[in-house]
Structure 1
Amino acid sequence: MGWLRDWRRRRVLRQSEADAPTWQAACDAQAVLAGLPQADQERLRRLATLFLHEKTFEAAAGLTLTPPMRWRIAAVACLPVLNLGLDWYEGWSAIVVYPGEFMARQDFTDEAGVVHQLRRPLIGEAWERGPVILSWADVLDSETATDGFNVVIHELAHKLDLLNGEANGLPPLHRGMSVRAWADIFTRAYDDFCAHVDAGEDTAIDPYASDSPAEFFAVLSEAFFETPAVLNATYPPVYAQLRAFYRQDPLLRLA
Protein backbone atom coordinates (compact mmCIF):
# COMPACT_ATOMS: atom_id res chain seq x y z
CA MET A 1 0.00 0.00 0.00
CA GLY A 2 2.98 2.26 -0.46
CA TRP A 3 1.28 3.93 -3.43
CA LEU A 4 -1.65 4.96 -1.24
CA ARG A 5 0.66 6.44 1.39
CA ASP A 6 2.55 8.34 -1.30
CA TRP A 7 -0.70 9.63 -2.82
CA ARG A 8 -1.89 10.81 0.59
CA ARG A 9 1.41 12.56 1.23
CA ARG A 10 1.29 14.35 -2.10
CA ARG A 11 -2.25 15.46 -1.26
CA VAL A 12 -1.15 16.74 2.15
CA LEU A 13 1.70 18.70 0.59
CA ARG A 14 -0.68 20.33 -1.88
CA GLN A 15 -3.22 21.26 0.78
CA SER A 16 -1.23 21.89 3.93
CA GLU A 17 1.91 23.79 2.99
CA ALA A 18 3.04 26.28 5.60
CA ASP A 19 2.85 29.89 4.60
CA ALA A 20 6.28 31.32 3.91
CA PRO A 21 6.52 33.56 7.02
CA THR A 22 5.60 30.71 9.41
CA TRP A 23 8.12 28.32 7.92
CA GLN A 24 10.85 30.94 7.67
CA ALA A 25 10.33 31.90 11.31
CA ALA A 26 10.64 28.25 12.32
CA CYS A 27 13.92 27.94 10.42
CA ASP A 28 15.31 31.28 11.56
CA ALA A 29 14.82 30.23 15.20
CA GLN A 30 17.17 27.26 14.80
CA ALA A 31 20.92 27.81 14.82
CA VAL A 32 21.41 24.16 13.84
CA LEU A 33 19.73 24.85 10.48
CA ALA A 34 22.15 27.62 9.54
CA GLY A 35 23.71 27.24 6.13
CA LEU A 36 21.17 24.79 4.72
CA PRO A 37 21.05 25.27 0.94
CA GLN A 38 17.73 26.37 -0.51
CA ALA A 39 17.01 22.94 -1.97
CA ASP A 40 17.59 21.31 1.42
CA GLN A 41 15.37 23.89 3.14
CA GLU A 42 12.58 23.08 0.71
CA ARG A 43 12.98 19.34 1.25
CA LEU A 44 13.02 19.92 5.00
CA ARG A 45 9.82 21.97 4.74
CA ARG A 46 8.07 19.14 2.92
CA LEU A 47 9.21 16.63 5.52
CA ALA A 48 8.12 18.88 8.38
CA THR A 49 4.71 19.34 6.73
CA LEU A 50 4.21 15.58 6.58
CA PHE A 51 5.62 15.12 10.07
CA LEU A 52 3.03 17.51 11.48
CA HIS A 53 0.30 15.69 9.58
CA GLU A 54 1.33 12.18 10.62
CA LYS A 55 2.33 12.81 14.25
CA THR A 56 0.07 14.04 17.02
CA PHE A 57 1.29 16.77 19.36
CA GLU A 58 0.02 16.65 22.93
CA ALA A 59 0.56 19.41 25.50
CA ALA A 60 1.09 18.39 29.13
CA ALA A 61 1.09 20.09 32.53
CA GLY A 62 -0.83 23.14 31.36
CA LEU A 63 1.35 24.03 28.37
CA THR A 64 -0.38 25.65 25.41
CA LEU A 65 1.07 24.39 22.12
CA THR A 66 0.75 26.88 19.29
CA PRO A 67 1.21 26.12 15.58
CA PRO A 68 4.56 27.99 15.46
CA MET A 69 5.82 25.86 18.37
CA ARG A 70 4.87 22.68 16.50
CA TRP A 71 6.63 23.92 13.38
CA ARG A 72 9.81 24.69 15.32
CA ILE A 73 9.90 21.19 16.78
CA ALA A 74 9.10 19.58 13.43
CA ALA A 75 11.81 21.50 11.58
CA VAL A 76 14.55 20.14 13.85
CA ALA A 77 12.97 16.70 14.21
CA CYS A 78 13.16 16.22 10.45
CA LEU A 79 16.79 17.30 10.13
CA PRO A 80 18.21 13.82 10.93
CA VAL A 81 16.02 12.24 8.22
CA LEU A 82 16.52 15.01 5.67
CA ASN A 83 18.22 12.58 3.28
CA LEU A 84 16.66 9.41 4.67
CA GLY A 85 12.94 10.09 4.42
CA LEU A 86 10.03 10.20 6.85
CA ASP A 87 9.53 6.42 6.77
CA TRP A 88 12.43 6.21 9.23
CA TYR A 89 10.02 7.64 11.81
CA GLU A 90 7.36 4.99 11.32
CA GLY A 91 6.03 2.90 14.21
CA TRP A 92 5.15 5.72 16.59
CA SER A 93 2.81 8.67 16.43
CA ALA A 94 2.91 11.05 19.39
CA ILE A 95 5.04 13.89 20.67
CA VAL A 96 4.24 15.03 24.21
CA VAL A 97 5.53 18.44 25.24
CA TYR A 98 5.87 19.63 28.84
CA PRO A 99 6.61 23.23 29.85
CA GLY A 100 9.92 22.14 31.44
CA GLU A 101 11.44 19.17 33.21
CA PHE A 102 9.07 16.29 33.90
CA MET A 103 9.20 13.38 36.30
CA ALA A 104 9.63 9.92 34.81
CA ARG A 105 9.49 6.52 36.46
CA GLN A 106 12.28 4.14 35.51
CA ASP A 107 12.71 0.53 36.56
CA PHE A 108 16.06 -1.15 37.01
CA THR A 109 17.21 -4.52 38.29
CA ASP A 110 20.14 -4.74 40.70
CA GLU A 111 22.79 -7.44 40.81
CA ALA A 112 20.61 -9.51 43.17
CA GLY A 113 17.77 -9.50 40.65
CA VAL A 114 15.61 -7.12 42.66
CA VAL A 115 13.57 -4.68 40.57
CA HIS A 116 13.63 -1.08 41.81
CA GLN A 117 11.53 1.89 40.73
CA LEU A 118 13.13 5.30 40.44
CA ARG A 119 11.58 8.68 39.71
CA ARG A 120 13.81 11.38 38.33
CA PRO A 121 13.45 14.62 36.36
CA LEU A 122 14.08 14.44 32.62
CA ILE A 123 14.08 16.91 29.76
CA GLY A 124 13.41 14.33 27.06
CA GLU A 125 12.52 10.71 26.60
CA ALA A 126 11.84 8.32 23.71
CA TRP A 127 9.80 5.18 24.27
CA GLU A 128 10.01 2.12 22.06
CA ARG A 129 6.93 2.31 19.78
CA GLY A 130 5.69 5.03 22.13
CA PRO A 131 5.86 8.80 22.24
CA VAL A 132 8.73 11.22 22.17
CA ILE A 133 8.51 13.43 25.26
CA LEU A 134 10.13 16.87 25.29
CA SER A 135 10.62 19.81 27.64
CA TRP A 136 9.67 22.98 25.78
CA ALA A 137 12.05 25.05 27.91
CA ASP A 138 14.91 22.85 26.73
CA VAL A 139 13.70 22.90 23.15
CA LEU A 140 14.05 26.69 23.37
CA ASP A 141 17.49 26.40 24.97
CA SER A 142 18.55 24.12 22.12
CA GLU A 143 17.59 26.68 19.48
CA THR A 144 19.85 29.59 20.22
CA ALA A 145 23.36 28.13 19.97
CA THR A 146 25.25 25.30 18.35
CA ASP A 147 26.82 24.00 21.55
CA GLY A 148 26.33 20.28 21.04
CA PHE A 149 23.08 20.22 23.01
CA ASN A 150 19.80 19.64 21.19
CA VAL A 151 17.07 17.71 22.98
CA VAL A 152 14.99 17.20 19.81
CA ILE A 153 17.86 15.66 17.84
CA HIS A 154 18.85 13.58 20.87
CA GLU A 155 15.43 11.97 21.29
CA LEU A 156 14.88 11.46 17.56
CA ALA A 157 18.29 9.76 17.37
CA HIS A 158 17.00 7.34 20.01
CA LYS A 159 13.99 6.65 17.78
CA LEU A 160 16.30 5.76 14.90
CA ASP A 161 18.36 3.55 17.21
CA LEU A 162 15.18 1.78 18.38
CA LEU A 163 14.33 0.68 14.84
CA ASN A 164 16.43 -2.43 15.50
CA GLY A 165 14.30 -3.28 18.52
CA GLU A 166 16.43 -1.89 21.33
CA ALA A 167 18.47 1.21 21.95
CA ASN A 168 22.04 -0.03 21.76
CA GLY A 169 23.82 2.51 19.59
CA LEU A 170 23.35 0.51 16.39
CA PRO A 171 20.56 1.80 14.13
CA PRO A 172 19.73 0.00 10.88
CA LEU A 173 22.61 0.67 8.52
CA HIS A 174 22.38 1.35 4.81
CA ARG A 175 23.49 -1.07 2.16
CA GLY A 176 27.23 -0.75 1.77
CA MET A 177 27.80 0.13 5.44
CA SER A 178 29.51 -2.49 7.58
CA VAL A 179 27.99 -3.46 10.93
CA ARG A 180 31.38 -4.75 12.03
CA ALA A 181 33.11 -1.48 11.13
CA TRP A 182 30.40 0.54 12.88
CA ALA A 183 30.61 -1.59 16.02
CA ASP A 184 34.42 -1.52 16.13
CA ILE A 185 34.63 2.25 15.61
CA PHE A 186 31.91 3.13 18.09
CA THR A 187 33.14 0.67 20.70
CA ARG A 188 36.69 2.02 20.59
CA ALA A 189 35.45 5.60 20.77
CA TYR A 190 33.02 4.80 23.59
CA ASP A 191 35.67 3.03 25.66
CA ASP A 192 38.08 5.91 25.13
CA PHE A 193 35.45 8.50 26.02
CA CYS A 194 34.42 6.64 29.18
CA ALA A 195 38.05 6.46 30.26
CA HIS A 196 38.35 10.25 29.99
CA VAL A 197 35.09 10.79 31.89
CA ASP A 198 36.05 8.28 34.60
CA ALA A 199 39.37 10.07 35.02
CA GLY A 200 37.49 13.31 35.76
CA GLU A 201 38.77 15.06 32.66
CA ASP A 202 36.90 17.85 30.91
CA THR A 203 35.52 16.66 27.58
CA ALA A 204 34.47 18.64 24.53
CA ILE A 205 31.48 16.31 24.21
CA ASP A 206 28.74 16.07 26.86
CA PRO A 207 29.91 13.51 29.46
CA TYR A 208 26.38 12.08 29.52
CA ALA A 209 27.49 10.20 26.41
CA SER A 210 29.37 7.82 28.73
CA ASP A 211 26.11 6.59 30.29
CA SER A 212 25.57 3.80 27.73
CA PRO A 213 26.22 2.98 24.05
CA ALA A 214 22.68 4.21 23.30
CA GLU A 215 23.35 7.57 24.91
CA PHE A 216 26.74 7.71 23.20
CA PHE A 217 25.02 7.44 19.81
CA ALA A 218 22.36 10.02 20.72
CA VAL A 219 24.80 12.56 22.18
CA LEU A 220 27.23 12.14 19.28
CA SER A 221 24.33 12.63 16.88
CA GLU A 222 23.71 15.97 18.62
CA ALA A 223 27.38 16.82 18.19
CA PHE A 224 27.35 15.68 14.55
CA PHE A 225 24.66 18.22 13.68
CA GLU A 226 25.55 20.99 16.12
CA THR A 227 29.34 20.90 16.56
CA PRO A 228 30.63 18.78 13.68
CA ALA A 229 34.14 20.25 13.84
CA VAL A 230 34.45 19.18 17.49
CA LEU A 231 33.26 15.66 16.79
CA ASN A 232 35.43 15.31 13.70
CA ALA A 233 38.49 16.51 15.62
CA THR A 234 37.78 14.20 18.56
CA TYR A 235 36.64 11.02 16.82
CA PRO A 236 37.10 11.31 13.02
CA PRO A 237 36.08 7.69 12.30
CA VAL A 238 32.83 8.20 14.23
CA TYR A 239 32.12 11.37 12.27
CA ALA A 240 32.66 9.43 9.03
CA GLN A 241 30.24 6.70 10.13
CA LEU A 242 27.56 9.23 11.07
CA ARG A 243 28.11 11.09 7.81
CA ALA A 244 27.45 7.84 5.94
CA PHE A 245 24.43 6.98 8.10
CA TYR A 246 22.70 10.37 8.04
CA ARG A 247 23.85 11.01 4.45
CA GLN A 248 24.78 14.56 5.42
CA ASP A 249 27.99 16.46 6.07
CA PRO A 250 27.31 19.35 8.47
CA LEU A 251 30.98 20.35 8.33
CA LEU A 252 30.39 21.66 4.82
CA ARG A 253 27.66 24.10 5.89
CA LEU A 254 28.68 24.99 9.45
CA ALA A 255 32.39 25.51 8.79
Structure 2
Amino acid sequence: MNPIIIIILVAAGLIGWIFIKPKLKELRRDKIRSQPFPKIWREILRQNVPYFYSMPSDLQLQLKQHILVFLSEKAFFGFEGVKINDEVRVTIAAQACLLLLNRKTDYYPKLKSIYVYPAAFITKHQSADSAGVLQNHHRVLSGESWDLGKVVLSWKDTHQGGLVFNDGHNVVIHEFAHQLDQETGAANGAPFVSYKKQKSWSQVLSKEFELLQKQAAKGEETLLDHYGATNPAEFFAVASEVFFERPAAMLRQHQALYRQLQSFYQVNPAIW
Protein backbone atom coordinates (compact mmCIF):
# COMPACT_ATOMS: atom_id res chain seq x y z
CA MET A 1 0.00 0.00 0.00
CA ASN A 2 1.14 3.49 -0.77
CA PRO A 3 2.96 4.98 2.30
CA ILE A 4 1.02 8.22 1.91
CA ILE A 5 -2.28 6.36 2.06
CA ILE A 6 -1.08 4.52 5.18
CA ILE A 7 -0.20 7.83 6.83
CA ILE A 8 -3.60 9.27 5.91
CA LEU A 9 -5.40 6.22 7.30
CA VAL A 10 -3.41 6.29 10.55
CA ALA A 11 -4.03 10.04 10.95
CA ALA A 12 -7.74 9.55 10.28
CA GLY A 13 -7.86 6.78 12.86
CA LEU A 14 -6.14 8.92 15.48
CA ILE A 15 -8.47 11.85 14.82
CA GLY A 16 -11.46 9.56 15.02
CA TRP A 17 -10.24 8.13 18.33
CA ILE A 18 -9.77 11.63 19.74
CA PHE A 19 -13.44 12.36 19.06
CA ILE A 20 -14.75 8.94 20.05
CA LYS A 21 -12.78 8.46 23.28
CA PRO A 22 -14.68 11.12 25.34
CA LYS A 23 -18.01 9.70 24.19
CA LEU A 24 -16.98 6.18 25.18
CA LYS A 25 -15.82 7.46 28.56
CA GLU A 26 -19.13 9.21 29.17
CA LEU A 27 -21.08 6.12 28.13
CA ARG A 28 -19.08 4.08 30.62
CA ARG A 29 -19.74 6.65 33.34
CA ASP A 30 -23.46 6.70 32.53
CA LYS A 31 -23.53 2.94 33.03
CA ILE A 32 -21.77 3.27 36.38
CA ARG A 33 -24.11 6.07 37.51
CA SER A 34 -27.10 3.87 36.74
CA GLN A 35 -25.95 1.16 39.15
CA PRO A 36 -27.65 0.78 42.55
CA PHE A 37 -25.91 2.56 45.40
CA PRO A 38 -24.83 -0.18 47.85
CA LYS A 39 -26.79 -0.33 51.09
CA ILE A 40 -23.61 -0.52 53.16
CA TRP A 41 -22.39 2.69 51.52
CA ARG A 42 -25.61 4.47 52.52
CA GLU A 43 -24.93 3.43 56.11
CA ILE A 44 -21.39 4.80 55.87
CA LEU A 45 -22.80 8.14 54.72
CA ARG A 46 -25.24 8.11 57.62
CA GLN A 47 -22.50 7.39 60.13
CA ASN A 48 -19.57 9.41 58.73
CA VAL A 49 -21.07 12.16 56.57
CA PRO A 50 -24.43 13.04 58.21
CA TYR A 51 -24.35 16.36 56.34
CA PHE A 52 -25.42 14.36 53.29
CA TYR A 53 -28.96 14.01 54.71
CA SER A 54 -29.42 17.77 55.05
CA MET A 55 -28.96 18.22 51.30
CA PRO A 56 -31.87 18.44 48.83
CA SER A 57 -32.89 15.02 47.54
CA ASP A 58 -31.85 15.76 43.95
CA LEU A 59 -28.34 16.65 45.13
CA GLN A 60 -28.22 13.53 47.28
CA LEU A 61 -28.91 11.47 44.16
CA GLN A 62 -26.27 13.35 42.19
CA LEU A 63 -23.71 12.89 44.93
CA LYS A 64 -24.32 9.15 45.12
CA GLN A 65 -23.89 8.87 41.36
CA HIS A 66 -20.66 10.88 41.52
CA ILE A 67 -19.37 8.65 44.32
CA LEU A 68 -19.95 5.58 42.16
CA VAL A 69 -17.90 7.04 39.29
CA PHE A 70 -15.21 8.51 41.53
CA LEU A 71 -14.58 5.20 43.28
CA SER A 72 -14.46 3.34 39.97
CA GLU A 73 -11.69 5.61 38.66
CA LYS A 74 -9.45 6.53 41.59
CA ALA A 75 -6.95 4.26 43.35
CA PHE A 76 -6.55 4.37 47.14
CA PHE A 77 -3.41 3.43 49.07
CA GLY A 78 -3.07 3.16 52.84
CA PHE A 79 0.13 3.94 54.73
CA GLU A 80 1.39 3.39 58.29
CA GLY A 81 -1.26 0.83 59.11
CA VAL A 82 -4.25 2.35 57.33
CA LYS A 83 -6.33 -0.35 55.67
CA ILE A 84 -8.30 0.85 52.67
CA ASN A 85 -11.90 -0.33 52.99
CA ASP A 86 -15.34 0.91 51.98
CA GLU A 87 -15.53 3.24 54.97
CA VAL A 88 -12.34 5.06 54.01
CA ARG A 89 -13.16 5.21 50.30
CA VAL A 90 -16.80 6.32 50.62
CA THR A 91 -16.08 8.88 53.36
CA ILE A 92 -13.43 10.54 51.21
CA ALA A 93 -15.40 10.30 47.97
CA ALA A 94 -18.56 11.81 49.49
CA GLN A 95 -16.71 14.92 50.61
CA ALA A 96 -14.62 15.24 47.45
CA CYS A 97 -17.65 14.96 45.16
CA LEU A 98 -19.50 17.79 46.90
CA LEU A 99 -17.37 20.08 44.74
CA LEU A 100 -18.71 18.52 41.53
CA LEU A 101 -22.47 18.94 41.94
CA ASN A 102 -24.73 20.63 39.38
CA ARG A 103 -22.05 21.17 36.77
CA LYS A 104 -20.21 19.39 34.01
CA THR A 105 -17.31 17.48 35.46
CA ASP A 106 -14.49 15.22 34.39
CA TYR A 107 -14.01 13.93 37.95
CA TYR A 108 -10.63 15.52 38.76
CA PRO A 109 -9.01 14.33 35.52
CA LYS A 110 -5.41 14.72 36.71
CA LEU A 111 -6.00 12.75 39.90
CA LYS A 112 -5.02 9.10 39.87
CA SER A 113 -4.19 8.16 43.46
CA ILE A 114 -5.28 9.03 46.98
CA TYR A 115 -2.79 8.26 49.76
CA VAL A 116 -4.23 7.91 53.26
CA TYR A 117 -2.24 8.19 56.48
CA PRO A 118 -3.67 7.50 59.95
CA ALA A 119 -3.16 11.09 61.17
CA ALA A 120 -1.16 14.21 60.34
CA PHE A 121 1.99 13.36 58.42
CA ILE A 122 5.40 14.96 57.94
CA THR A 123 6.52 16.19 54.53
CA LYS A 124 10.03 17.15 53.51
CA HIS A 125 10.81 19.98 51.12
CA GLN A 126 14.03 21.57 49.93
CA SER A 127 14.63 25.21 49.11
CA ALA A 128 17.73 27.25 48.37
CA ASP A 129 18.74 30.17 50.59
CA SER A 130 20.23 33.43 49.34
CA ALA A 131 23.66 31.76 49.05
CA GLY A 132 22.27 28.90 47.00
CA VAL A 133 22.60 26.39 49.81
CA LEU A 134 19.81 23.82 49.93
CA GLN A 135 17.81 23.81 53.14
CA ASN A 136 15.58 20.95 54.30
CA HIS A 137 12.17 21.86 55.67
CA HIS A 138 9.72 19.63 57.51
CA ARG A 139 6.01 20.36 57.78
CA VAL A 140 3.23 18.56 59.59
CA LEU A 141 0.16 18.40 57.36
CA SER A 142 -3.34 16.92 57.43
CA GLY A 143 -3.57 16.99 53.64
CA GLU A 144 -1.64 17.76 50.49
CA SER A 145 -2.62 18.07 46.81
CA TRP A 146 -0.13 17.38 44.06
CA ASP A 147 -0.61 18.44 40.45
CA LEU A 148 0.94 15.15 39.34
CA GLY A 149 -2.04 12.97 40.09
CA LYS A 150 -1.97 12.55 43.86
CA VAL A 151 -3.83 13.72 46.96
CA VAL A 152 -2.54 12.84 50.44
CA LEU A 153 -4.96 12.83 53.40
CA SER A 154 -4.97 12.21 57.13
CA TRP A 155 -7.74 9.72 57.93
CA LYS A 156 -8.21 11.21 61.40
CA ASP A 157 -8.83 14.68 59.94
CA THR A 158 -10.87 13.31 57.05
CA HIS A 159 -13.14 11.40 59.42
CA GLN A 160 -13.51 14.37 61.74
CA GLY A 161 -14.24 16.66 58.79
CA GLY A 162 -17.13 14.49 57.71
CA LEU A 163 -18.65 14.29 61.19
CA VAL A 164 -18.26 17.95 62.12
CA PHE A 165 -19.51 19.88 59.13
CA ASN A 166 -20.09 23.32 60.61
CA ASP A 167 -16.70 24.52 61.84
CA GLY A 168 -15.36 25.83 58.53
CA HIS A 169 -12.55 23.28 58.38
CA ASN A 170 -12.57 20.31 56.04
CA VAL A 171 -9.32 18.82 54.75
CA VAL A 172 -10.97 16.92 51.88
CA ILE A 173 -12.78 20.00 50.54
CA HIS A 174 -9.55 21.97 50.93
CA GLU A 175 -7.34 19.55 49.00
CA PHE A 176 -9.89 18.86 46.28
CA ALA A 177 -10.42 22.58 45.77
CA HIS A 178 -6.68 22.60 45.02
CA GLN A 179 -7.28 19.81 42.50
CA LEU A 180 -9.88 21.98 40.73
CA ASP A 181 -7.41 24.85 40.77
CA GLN A 182 -4.66 22.62 39.37
CA GLU A 183 -6.76 21.57 36.38
CA THR A 184 -5.67 24.84 34.73
CA GLY A 185 -2.00 24.44 35.70
CA ALA A 186 -0.20 25.21 38.94
CA ALA A 187 -2.50 26.14 41.84
CA ASN A 188 -2.91 29.92 41.85
CA GLY A 189 -6.44 30.55 43.09
CA ALA A 190 -7.80 30.75 39.56
CA PRO A 191 -9.72 27.58 38.64
CA PHE A 192 -11.50 27.51 35.32
CA VAL A 193 -14.32 30.04 35.09
CA SER A 194 -16.03 31.22 31.91
CA TYR A 195 -14.54 34.20 30.13
CA LYS A 196 -17.44 36.50 30.99
CA LYS A 197 -17.06 35.69 34.71
CA GLN A 198 -13.27 35.99 34.94
CA LYS A 199 -13.18 39.74 35.62
CA SER A 200 -15.63 39.69 38.53
CA TRP A 201 -14.03 36.51 39.93
CA SER A 202 -10.58 38.12 39.91
CA GLN A 203 -11.79 41.41 41.38
CA VAL A 204 -13.78 39.89 44.23
CA LEU A 205 -11.29 37.19 45.24
CA SER A 206 -8.34 39.58 45.04
CA LYS A 207 -10.14 42.10 47.24
CA GLU A 208 -11.15 39.46 49.77
CA PHE A 209 -7.65 37.94 49.79
CA GLU A 210 -6.08 41.32 50.51
CA LEU A 211 -8.61 41.93 53.28
CA LEU A 212 -7.77 38.60 54.92
CA GLN A 213 -4.06 39.38 54.68
CA LYS A 214 -4.58 42.69 56.50
CA GLN A 215 -6.77 41.04 59.15
CA ALA A 216 -4.28 38.23 59.68
CA ALA A 217 -1.41 40.72 60.02
CA LYS A 218 -3.36 42.46 62.79
CA GLY A 219 -4.28 39.19 64.48
CA GLU A 220 -8.00 39.82 64.04
CA GLU A 221 -10.51 37.02 64.47
CA THR A 222 -11.94 36.12 61.07
CA LEU A 223 -14.45 33.72 59.56
CA LEU A 224 -11.85 32.49 57.07
CA ASP A 225 -8.81 30.77 58.55
CA HIS A 226 -5.69 32.95 58.45
CA TYR A 227 -3.97 30.18 56.49
CA GLY A 228 -5.95 31.50 53.53
CA ALA A 229 -3.79 34.64 53.64
CA THR A 230 -0.72 32.59 52.63
CA ASN A 231 -1.34 32.92 48.89
CA PRO A 232 -4.28 33.03 46.42
CA ALA A 233 -4.33 29.22 46.02
CA GLU A 234 -4.74 28.69 49.77
CA PHE A 235 -7.32 31.48 49.90
CA PHE A 236 -9.49 29.72 47.32
CA ALA A 237 -9.20 26.40 49.18
CA VAL A 238 -9.97 27.94 52.59
CA ALA A 239 -12.88 29.94 51.15
CA SER A 240 -14.26 26.72 49.63
CA GLU A 241 -14.21 25.04 53.05
CA VAL A 242 -16.18 27.90 54.60
CA PHE A 243 -18.58 28.11 51.65
CA PHE A 244 -19.73 24.53 52.22
CA GLU A 245 -19.39 24.36 56.00
CA ARG A 246 -20.46 27.83 57.17
CA PRO A 247 -22.42 29.20 54.22
CA ALA A 248 -24.87 31.37 56.18
CA ALA A 249 -22.02 33.14 57.99
CA MET A 250 -20.13 33.68 54.73
CA LEU A 251 -23.24 35.06 53.07
CA ARG A 252 -23.64 37.58 55.93
CA GLN A 253 -20.02 38.62 56.25
CA HIS A 254 -18.66 38.15 52.72
CA GLN A 255 -21.64 38.31 50.40
CA ALA A 256 -19.68 39.09 47.22
CA LEU A 257 -17.29 36.19 47.87
CA TYR A 258 -20.20 33.87 48.61
CA ARG A 259 -21.90 34.79 45.33
CA GLN A 260 -18.74 34.12 43.33
CA LEU A 261 -18.34 30.69 44.91
CA GLN A 262 -22.05 29.99 44.46
CA SER A 263 -21.70 30.78 40.76
CA PHE A 264 -18.59 28.61 40.49
CA TYR A 265 -19.88 25.59 42.42
CA GLN A 266 -23.46 25.96 41.13
CA VAL A 267 -24.98 25.21 44.55
CA ASN A 268 -26.40 27.34 47.36
CA PRO A 269 -25.63 25.55 50.66
CA ALA A 270 -26.96 28.50 52.68
CA ILE A 271 -30.50 27.25 52.02
CA TRP A 272 -29.94 23.53 52.64
TM-score, normalised to structure 1, is 0.92
Shift of residue 176, structure 1, vs aligned partner: 3.8
CA distance in 2, matches of 1:80, 1:68: 20
Give 3-state SS (helix, strand or coil) of 2:238's partner.
Answer: helix
Q: Give the structure 1 partner of residue 16 of structure 2.
A: none
SS of structure 2 residue aligned to 1:79: helix
Aligned pairs for 1:1-255 within 5 A: 1-14=21-34, 17-110=36-129, 114-145=133-164, 146-174=166-194, 176-177=196-197, 179-253=198-272
Q: Is the 8 A contact 2:122 2:138 kept in 1?
A: yes
**Whole-angstrom distance in 1 between the partners of 2:206 and 2:47:** 37
Residues 42-85 of structure 1 deviation map (CA, whole Å, 9 limit, x = unaligned): 11101000000000011011111211221111111100011224
Closer/same/farther in 2, CA of residues 37 and 150 from structure 1, 3 Å limit: same
The DSSP-based 3-state class of the residue aligned with 1:84 is: coil
Distance 1:65 1:88, change over 3 A: closer
Find the aligned partners of 1:141 and 1:112 in 2 and give their Cα distance: 43
In structure 2, C-alpha distance between the alignment counterparts of 1:28 and 1:86, rounded to whole Å: 27
Unaligned runs of 5+ in 1: none
Q: How many angstroms does 1:233 deviate by?
A: 2.1
- Note the aligned Cα RMSD (angstroms): 1.8
Q: 3-state DSSP class of the match of 2:80?
A: coil
Please say if residues 76 and 152 of structure 1, whose CA atoms lie closer than 8 Å, have aligned partners that are also in contact.
Answer: yes
Can you list the C-alpha shifts for 1:177-210, whole angstroms capped at 9, x where unaligned? 2x22211111111111111111111222211111
Tell me: CA distance 1:110–1:161, structure 2 relative to 1, closer, same or farther (3 Å). Answer: farther
Gaps of 5+ in 2: 1-20
User: SS of the residue aligned with 1:223?
Assistant: helix
Q: Check 1:232–1:153 CA distance in 2 against 1; reply closer, same or farther (3 A cut).
A: same
Distance 1:6 1:220, change over 3 A: same
Q: Which amino acid aligns with 1:12?
A: I
Residues 28/61 of structure 1: CA separation in 2 closer, same or farther (3 Å cut): closer
Name the CA shift for 1:88/1:53 in 2 (closer, same or farther; >3 Å): closer
Using the TM superposition, give the Cα deviation of residue 248 of structure 1 relative to its aligned residue in structure 2, in angstroms: 0.6
Cα distance in 2 for partners of 1:136, 1:192 equals 33
Deviates more, 1:211-220 or 1:83-92: 83-92
| Structure 2 Cα separation of the partners of residues 167 and 53 of structure 1 | 26
Higher Rg of the two aligned structures? 2
1:217/1:31 Cα in 2 relative to 1: closer, same or farther (>3 Å)?
farther
Q: What is the rounded CA distance, in whole Å, between the counterparts of 2:266 and 2:246 in structure 1?
A: 17
Identity %: 35
**CA 1:91–1:216: 2 relative to 1, 3 Å:** same
Distance in 2 (CA, whole Å) between partners of 1:114 and 1:154 is 32
Q: What SS does the aligned partner of 2:54 have?
A: coil
CA distance in 1, matches of 2:97, 2:210: 30
TM-score by length of 2: 0.86
Instruction: Tell whether the 8 Å contact from 2:95 to 2:162 is kept in structure 1 after alignment.
Output: no
Cα deviation digits, residues 62-112 of structure 1 (max 9, x gap):
111211221111111100011224405102211110000111122334456
